[in-house]
Amino acid sequence: MFLKNKTIILGITGGIAAYKTVDLVSQLTKLGANVHVCLSKNASKFVSPLSLEVMSTNKIYSGQEQGEEIDHIKLADNADIVLIAPATANSLAKLANGLSDEMIFDIVLATKAPVIIAPAMNSNMWQHPSTLANLEKLEKFNYQIIEPDSGLLACGHIGQGRLPDNEIIIQKLIQALNQNSKSKGKILISAGATREAIDAVRFISNKSSGKMAFALAREALKANYEVVLVSTIEVPSDIKSQIIYVETADEMCAALKKEFDDSQALIMVAAVADYKIKNSSDQKLAKNELSNLELEKNIDILEALAATKQAHQKLIGFSVETNDALEKAKSKIKKKNLDAIIINNTSAFGADTADIIILKKDNQQETLSASKNIIAKRILESCIENSHDIISVV
C-alpha cells in the first residue's frame, strides 16, 4: 500500500467537520502512514486532542507551540505530504496570503512537500468572491484543493461546503504522493535470445522466451525504478518501459553500452548466442554451401561492461546449468565481475515458473521455486535493494 511509512502532517482548523478527522487519522494509521497532527487553537474546541493522539500514536501539536522553531521546521522537512482538513474560510485566507499566526501555517510555508487542502464551510462562505479569489491564489501556489461535497450542512443550509468522505481524501493523498514520487533509479534489463544470421533465412538462436526478463521489468516498474529493456523479442504491451529492440549479440552489446553509464544495475537475462557466423550471407545459401560456414566467438557482453563498471553499479547474470551448477556459477561471478548470478535449469525455458538459486559474490545463496513474478521480486529485493533473509552461505 502506497501510504506505508509515509509521513503525513495533518493540519486541522476550527470547523465542525474537524470531528471527522479522528476517523481519518485512524484510517491513515492503519494504512501504515505516520501521521502528525497539528491543531489550530479553534480546532481543539471541535475535536479532542487526546482522541487524535490515541489514533495517531504521536504527540499532538495544539497551537501552543508557535515559536518553537525546531518542531515546525522538523515537521515541515520530514513531511511526505501536508494535508489541511478541514480548512476554514479564515485559514484559506491566511494560506493565500502567507499569514502565519499558528504552527500549521508555519509548516505550510516551510515545507517542500505537496500541500493538499480540503475546505469545509457554510455554502455562502464557500461562494463568496473573497474565498474564490483565495482559492485561485492557492492553486497558483500548486496547492491541491479537494472540492467540498454538497448536501445538508451543519449550519442548516443545503449546498456545497461539506468535508468529503475520508475515502476521497485518502485517494487524493495517494494520487498526490504517486505524482510526487521520484524514480529510484534506472535498471537496465536484457531480454530474449540473440539471433545470429547464417544467411537470408536461417539463424543461430536458443529457447529463451523473455518471460523472466519481462517479470523483472514489471516488478522494477512497480517498485518505482525507471526501466530500459533491451530485447530481441516483442515486449508485452502492459510493460510501460523504454524499449530498445536488437537482434544480434553485437547490437545488444552496443545498446547496453550506451545505456549502462547512468544505470544503477544491469540484469543480463538475455541468452546470448556464444558464436556468430563469420561468413554469413545476405542471400539464401544452398544446402551444400552450409558446410563451409565458419564460427566466430561473440563478444561477452557482461565481461565488456564489467570493465567500465562503477562501484555503485550492480551486474547480475543468469546462467542455465545442467551439472556442477554452483561451481560453474561461482567461476562466472569471478570471471565476469558479477554481484550475483541466478542459476536456472532447462525447465525454466518458456515456463511461468522456475527453480532457481540466487548466488551472490560473497557466496550467500538462496533457493527458490516459484512463479517468475515472485522470483523477479526477490531478485530485486535481494540483489538490488540488498535486503537480507538469505537462507544459507556456501
Cell of 182: 521520484
Catalytic (active site) residue 383: no
Interface with ligand CTP (CB under 6 A), residue from 298, 313, 365, 382: 298
> What are the φ/ψ torsions at residue 170 (nearest 5 degrees)?
-65, -40
Between 319 and 382, whose beta carbon lies closer to ligand CTP?
A: 319
Regarding 301 and contact with ligand CTP (CB under 6 A), the answer is yes
Regarding 319 and contact with ligand CTP (CB under 6 A), the answer is yes
Helix, strand, coil % (nearest 5) of the chain? 40, 25, 40
Regarding 318 and contact with ligand CTP (CB under 6 A), the answer is yes
Cell of 241: 518501459
Interface with ligand CTP (CB under 6 A), residue from 65, 247, 300, 381: 300
Regarding 186 and contact with ligand CTP (CB under 6 A), the answer is no
Greatest Cα pair distance in the chain? 95
- Plot region of 97 (φ>0 → left; ψ -120 to 50 → alpha; else → beta): alpha
Task: Classify residue 197 by burial, with Cβ atoms within 10 Å: 0-12, 13-18, 19+.
Answer: middle
The packing angle between helices 103-110 and 89-97, to 10°, is: 40
Q: CA 63 to CA 119: how far, in whole Å?
A: 19
Q: Report the DSSP pairing between strands 353-360 and 364-371.
A: antiparallel
Interface with ligand CTP: number of residues (CB under 6 A):
13
Q: CA 170 to CA 345: how far, in whole Å?
A: 46
- The one segment of 13-21, 222-230, 294-302, 368-376 that binds ligand CTP by CB under 6 A: 294-302
Interface with ligand CTP (CB under 6 A), residue from 12, 249, 343, 356: 249
Residue 363 Cβ vs ligand CTP, minimum distance, rounded to whole Å = 18
Residue 236 Cβ vs ligand CTP, minimum distance, rounded to whole Å = 20
Q: CA 250 to CA 123: how far, in whole Å?
A: 68
Between 157 and 361, whose beta carbon lies closer to ligand CTP?
A: 361
Residue 228 Cβ vs ligand CTP, minimum distance, rounded to whole Å = 16
Dihedral sign of CA atoms 274, 279, 285, 286 in order = negative
Interface with ligand CTP (CB under 6 A), residue from 270, 343, 376, 379: 270
Interface with ligand CTP (CB under 6 A), residue from 149, 274, 366, 381: 274
Regarding 122 and contact with ligand CTP (CB under 6 A), the answer is no
Cell of 348: 525454466
Interface with ligand CTP (CB under 6 A), residue from 22, 37, 113, 268: 268
- The one segment of 110-118, 152-160, 231-239, 297-305 that binds ligand CTP by CB under 6 A: 297-305
Residue 258 Cβ vs ligand CTP, minimum distance, rounded to whole Å = 15
Length of the chain (residues): 394
- The 330-359 contact track toward ligand CTP, x by CB under 6 A, reads --x---------------------------
Regarding 230 and contact with ligand CTP (CB under 6 A), the answer is no
Regarding 20 and contact with ligand CTP (CB under 6 A), the answer is no
Amino acid code (one letter) for 82 = V
- The one segment of 178-186, 197-205, 315-323, 368-376 that binds ligand CTP by CB under 6 A: 315-323
Q: CA 197 to CA 173: how far, in whole Å?
A: 53
DSSP 198-228: SSSS-EE-----SHHHHHHHHHHHHTT-EEE
- The one segment of 92-100, 207-215, 268-276, 375-383 that binds ligand CTP by CB under 6 A: 268-276
Residues that are catalytic: 155
Give residues in contact with ligand CTP (CB under 6 A): 249, 268, 270, 272, 274, 298, 300-302, 317-319, 332
